């Protein structure tokens, strides 16, 4: 069978009068200009050739089409633009069938929606994730999807950007069939059938508006998570428009909105985040380094952190051996882990088989000797140097020589801990964020002596756990907590200078942070930072600006929410401004002779974000972070920094 070349990455073959067009633009078959041009050429060939009755479009490799080419977004569009390609597919006289071999995302799904039939491999994933890039679908997604699924389901899918499985897509009406055997063969058969029937064009179908209540519930859910992002609300507006406007009006309004958002600040920031994530996976010095085999993860300590790590590892299919200091404590830990898993069973996140499989892979014990088979042991015990050092020395006598020892410390020095062991090359820091089974960030701390394959294994573990690993060097607090300390300090200086905790919190929440800094301090408790400040007191430069307010709070027993009072008072669990704190702040100002001034929200956010970026610059100069974008990812994924702002380094223009 001779292949017809339509463009450098689009080719076709003919079977039973059906033109099978394959898109081959690695790594993800993005709909780049040459792909678009190739599809147009294939359509012209189909409709200009009387021996052909239909066309199948499929993708080579793992993807159907991973979306529009995001690298083209910063540049002016080049013809043929995707909406024209999509319209040409829909308008084709002869039927076009989408054979979805893998992911069909964004523009990829939009191509499929314009086809006259859709058949998917069981493992295909379909979605319109544009909102995650600060966009709305720009090639008909907001107008065609609701014509297949109804308005409420389309609002949910487009507004959340969630990808659905082939099975769910079939249920929702997004696709017509799931292949039971060889996808392309079944697509060819379907094309043959379709050629004998009137062509069904998605754009001509009526929109099932559905019940107003369902629609509003879906919209409310999406908006509840949008936190200052523009795109989700725009997506909802466009999907609703589909219900009462003509296709042409809807498409024109969608395109106008897409182009406006594409050039906006939020989309620029979210594109930065997208590429930052891909860049973070590329770590210098690891080219060609093979990670060690990982099957069994050992965990020491089954508190909240250890249990969260256990659940995360069980979810990822690992065997887990979790130990505590006594059989009784181990039993308690086991109950905690089982309860966490059961919660996921009840909520439907896992099914009974999945639950049982996880439990069968979990072993708990009150004796560290049980850790012997572990390939990697993570300690998640109390953050005290002597406790951890003793533990690492003990572990050396238990685990195999090639097993990795990982510390989950937040502030201690992994190099010092490694030096306590005979083989520091196998020691690494794996800093999880709580709750560890939910939070996506993991700082992978490379010690001075950590072996490259140990680092590669840490990264692989993170990836298998579905986490976003960011490699960082050794410094007190690593990337995240160092920046957070700088943020804390600046927030306290702002208090001295005239702002109130509530003003600062409300400014940062308005900016898009999940919570304002003082609400976070109260939630986390003030005592750990206080202990650190006391430790640092002896070596602190007396000329350095220092705010005593937090110390005074702690001296007064105001340790935060758990204590019922901290930066705020908590009455019946409700946060309230507290005149006692206002007076402490006023006193601190008087002592320093500071005349308080008023701050706008913009001034507050600028000062706090600049403080983070300044600390980020230091981390880069010290070689702790290798890229500015890594720092942004840490703040976004571990500290509630709004992704649609791109991170403090992005905002400061630091590359």
Residues that are catalytic:
110, 130
Which among 460, 395, 458 is positioned nearest to 423, based on CA atoms? 395
Contact flag: residue 462 with ligand 3HC (CB under 6 A): no
Contact flag: residue 69 with ligand 3HC (CB under 6 A): yes
For 173, counting Cβ atoms within 10 Å of its Cβ (0-12 exposed, 13-18 middle, 19+ buried), the class is: middle
Give the helix ranges, DSSP H, for 100-182.
107-114, 141-149, 151-160, 166-172
Contact flag: residue 139 with ligand 3HC (CB under 6 A): yes
| C-beta separation of 89 from 39 below 8 A | yes
Whole-angstrom Cα distance, residue 526 to residue 273?
A: 31
Collect all residues with Cβ–Cβ distance below 8 Å to 472 and sequence separation of at least 6: 443, 444, 445, 446, 478, 479, 619, 624, 625, 630, 634
Whole-angstrom Cα distance, residue 435 to residue 430?
A: 14
Which range touches ligand 3HC (CB under 6 A), out of 61-69, 363-371, 472-480, 646-654?
61-69
Contact flag: residue 133 with ligand 3HC (CB under 6 A): yes
Question: Dihedral angle at the C-alpha atoms of 250, 254, 256, 259, nearest 10 degrees?
Answer: -160
SS3 220: helix
Which range touches ligand 3HC (CB under 6 A), out of 131-139, 342-350, 533-541, 579-587?
131-139
Contact residue for ligand 3HC among 18, 23, 98, 103 (CB under 6 A): 103
Cβ-based neighbour number of residue 71 at 10 Å: 11
- Residue 653, Ramachandran bin (φ over 0: left; ψ between -120 and 50: alpha; else beta): left
Handedness of CA 30, 31, 33, 35 (dihedral sign): positive
Which range touches ligand 3HC (CB under 6 A), out of 116-124, 132-140, 217-225, 580-588?
132-140
Residue 423 DSSP one-character state = -
Contact residue for ligand 3HC among 110, 234, 522, 632 (CB under 6 A): 110
**Pattern 553-592, ligand 3HC, x by CB under 6 A:** ----------------------------------------
Contact flag: residue 68 with ligand 3HC (CB under 6 A): yes
Give min distance, CB of 106 to ligand 3HC, in A.
2
Which range touches ligand 3HC (CB under 6 A), out of 134-142, 143-151, 395-403, 448-456?
134-142
Residue 176 DSSP one-character state = S
Contact flag: residue 70 with ligand 3HC (CB under 6 A): yes
Which range touches ligand 3HC (CB under 6 A), out of 25-33, 166-174, 479-487, 557-565?
25-33
Which among 86, 141, 135 is positioned nearest to 111, based on CA atoms? 86
- Nearer residue to ligand 3HC within complex by CB, 103 or 309: 103
Give min distance, CB of 236 to ligand 3HC, in A.
16
- Nearer residue to ligand 3HC within complex by CB, 19 or 31: 31
Give the helix ranges, DSSP H, for 546-652.
549-555, 579-592, 601-621, 628-638, 648-651
- Applying CB under 6 A, the site for ligand 3HC has a residue count of 25
Give min distance, CB of 506 to ligand 3HC, in A.
33
Contact flag: residue 129 with ligand 3HC (CB under 6 A): yes
Residues making contact with ligand 3HC (CB under 6 A): 27-28, 30, 63, 66-71, 82, 103, 105-107, 110, 129-130, 133, 135, 137-139, 141, 278
């Amino acid at each position: 069978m001779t292949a017809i070349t339509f463009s450098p990455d689009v080719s076709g073959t003919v079977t039973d009068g059906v033109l099978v067009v394959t898109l081959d633009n690695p790594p993800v078959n993005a709909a780049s200009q040459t792909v678009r041009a190739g599809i147009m050429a294939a359509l012209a060939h189909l409709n200009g050739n009387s021996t052909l009755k239909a066309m199948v479009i499929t993708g080579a490799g793992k993807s159907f089409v991973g979306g529009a080419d995001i690298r083209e977004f910063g540049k002016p569009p080049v013809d043929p633009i995707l909406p024209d390609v999509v319209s040409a597919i829909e308008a084709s006289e002869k039927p076009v069938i989408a054979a979805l071999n893998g992911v069909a995302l964004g523009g990829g799904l939009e191509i499929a929606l314009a086809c006259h039939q859709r058949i998917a491999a069981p493992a295909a994933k379909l979605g319109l994730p544009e909102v995650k890039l600060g966009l709305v679908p720009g090639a008909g997604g907001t107008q065609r999807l609701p014509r297949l699924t109804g308005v409420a389901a389309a609002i949910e899918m487009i507004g959340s950007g969630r990808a659905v499985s082939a099975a769910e897509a079939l249920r929702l009406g997004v696709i017509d069939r799931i292949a039971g055997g060889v996808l392309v063969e079944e697509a060819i058969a379907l094309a043959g059938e379709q050629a004998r029937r009137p062509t069904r064009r998605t754009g001509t179908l009526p929109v099932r508006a559905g019940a107003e209540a369902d629609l509003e519930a879906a919209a409310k859910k999406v908006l509840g998570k949008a936190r200052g992002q523009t795109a989700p609300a725009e997506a909802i507006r466009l999907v609703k428009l589909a219900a009462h406007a003509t296709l042409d009006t809807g498409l024109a309004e969608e395109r106008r909105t897409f182009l406006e958002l594409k050039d906006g600040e939020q989309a620029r920031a979210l594109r930065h985040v997208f590429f930052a994530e891909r860049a973070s996976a590329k770590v210098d010095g690891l080219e060609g380094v093979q990670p060690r085999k990982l099957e069994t993860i050992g965990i020491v300590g089954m508190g909240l952190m250890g249990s969260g790590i256990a659940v995360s590892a069980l979810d990822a299919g690992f065997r887990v051996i979790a130990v505590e200091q006594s059989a009784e404590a181990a039993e308690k830990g086991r109950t905690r882990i089982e309860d966490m898993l059961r919660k996921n069973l009840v909520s439907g996140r896992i099914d009974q088989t999945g639950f049982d499989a996880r439990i069968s892979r979990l072993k708990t014990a009150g004796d560290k000797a049980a850790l012997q088979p572990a390939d990697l042991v993570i300690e998640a015990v109390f953050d005290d140097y002597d406790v951890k050092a003793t533990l690492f020395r003990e572990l050396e006598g238990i685990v195999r020589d090639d097993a990795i020892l990982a510390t989950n410390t937040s502030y201690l020095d992994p190099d010092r801990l490694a030096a306590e062991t005979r083989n520091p090359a196998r020691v690494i820091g794996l800093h999880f964020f709580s709750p560890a089974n939910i939070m996506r960030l993991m700082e992978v701390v490379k010690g001075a002596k950590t072996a490259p394959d140990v680092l590669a294994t840490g990264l692989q573990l993170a990836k298998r756990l579905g986490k976003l690993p960011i490699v960082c060097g050794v410094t007190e607090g690593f990337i995240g907590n160092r920046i957070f300390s700088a943020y804390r300090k600046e927030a306290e200086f702002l208090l001295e200078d005239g702002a109130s905790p509530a003003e600062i919190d409300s400014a940062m929440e308005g900016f898009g942070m999940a919570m304002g800094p003082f609400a976070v301090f109260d939630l986390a408790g003030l005592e750990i930072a206080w202990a650190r400040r006391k430790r640092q007191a002896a070596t602190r430069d007396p000329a350095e600006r220092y705010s005593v307010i937090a110390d005074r709070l702690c001296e007064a027993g105001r340790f935060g929410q758990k204590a019922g009072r901290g930066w705020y008072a908590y009455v019946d669990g409700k946060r309230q401004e507290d005149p006692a704190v206002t007076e402490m702040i006023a006193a601190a100002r008087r002592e320093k002779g500071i005349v308080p001034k008023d701050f706008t929200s913009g001034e507050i956010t600028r000062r706090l974000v600049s403080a983070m970026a300044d600390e980020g610059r230091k981390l880069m100069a010290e070689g702790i972070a290798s890229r500015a974008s890594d720092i942004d990812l840490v703040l976004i994924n571990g500290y509630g920094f709004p992704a649609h702002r791109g991170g403090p380094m992005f905002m400061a223009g630091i590359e």
